[in-house]
């Protein structure tokens, strides 16, 4: 009688993300065990950095595998719907501009009418009490409009500061273009030109894999 043998259990393949997590966990452990105090350790760390870069590349490739289809869907949705949304935005802007122009015109007409009445009082061609009565009888200009369906518009005013002459603005309000200053300073240093006052060139160490 043959002895029955049990088949060894088949190990299921590990989840790809879990494999990546384990690799990163081992990398973090490796960091704590990687001092750099000798030339030999320096060489070992250089090799470990290379391995870390390889791991990062592999992780990015796995990430891209998941992200690429989603990106394609997003791009297709944007290409389809963004132009339509932009048309709606433009329509809202145009209609609001027309509404605002009309409301401002009404407000200006009301102001001119009140100024005209006040001028007549100053000239003595209208009694003050008559002027007051006329002004009180004038309909109040509405800055808010609301319909029966609940739609509404409200025109609010705010003060805005506009620069009329930049040449006379005090120096305390000017901002240094640091990007331009750094670029120009390095350019001058490279070709032996006079440095920019207030700027010094320093050497900063930067380690990279080769």
Asked whether residue 64 is assigned to any structural domain, the reply reads: yes
> What domain count does the chain have?
1
Mean pLDDT value across residues 149-159: 90
Domain that holds residue 64: 16-160
Name, in order, each residue with C-beta under 8 angstroms of 9's C-beta and a sequence gap of 6 or more: none
Helices (H), the chain: 16-32, 39-123, 128-137, 178-190
6, pLDDT greater than 70: no
The answer to whether residue 158 scores a pLDDT higher than 80 is: yes
Residue 87 within any structural domain of the chain: yes
Residue 13 is predicted with a pLDDT of 44
The average pLDDT across 13-37 equals 88
* Contact residues for 41 (Cβ-Cβ < 8 A; gap 6+): 34, 35
- Please check the confidence at residue 193 and state whether its pLDDT lies above 90: yes
Q: Answer yes or no: is 137 within a domain.
A: yes
Residue 177 counted as domain residue? no
Whether residue 151 is contained in a domain is answered as yes
Contacts within 8 Å (CB) and 24+ apart, 155-158: 155/100, 155/103, 155/104
pLDDT of 27 strictly over 60: yes
Confirm whether 10 is domain-assigned.
Answer: no
Phi, psi of 77 (to 5 degrees): -65, -40
Do the domain assignments include residue 176?
no
45 in a structural domain: yes
């Amino acid at each position: 009688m043959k002895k029955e043998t049990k088949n060894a259990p088949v190990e299921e393949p590990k989840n790809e993300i879990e494999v990546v997590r384990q690799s990163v966990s081992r990398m973090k452990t490796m960091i704590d065990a990687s001092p750099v105090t000798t030339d030999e350790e320096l060489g070992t760390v250089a090799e470990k950095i290379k391995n870390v870069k390889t791991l990062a590349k592999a992780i990015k490739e796995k990430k891209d595998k998941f992200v690429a289809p989603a990106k394609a869907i997003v791009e297709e949705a944007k290409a389809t719907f963004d132009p339509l949304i932009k048309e709606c935005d433009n329509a809202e802007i145009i209609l609001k501009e027309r509404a605002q122009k009309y409301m401002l015109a009404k407000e200006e007409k009301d102001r001119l009418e009140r100024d005209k009445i006040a001028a007549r009082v100053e000239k003595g061609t209208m009694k003050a009490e008559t002027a007051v009565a006329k002004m009180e009888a004038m309909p109040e200009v509405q800055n808010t409009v609301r319909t029966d369906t609940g739609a509404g518009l409200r025109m609010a005013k705010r003060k805005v500061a506009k620069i009329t002459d930049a040449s006379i603005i005090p120096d305390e309000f000017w901002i240094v273009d640091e990007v331009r200053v750094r670029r120009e300073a390095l350019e001058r240093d490279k070709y032996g030109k006079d440095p920019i006052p207030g700027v010094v060139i320093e050497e900063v160490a930067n380690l990279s894999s080769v």
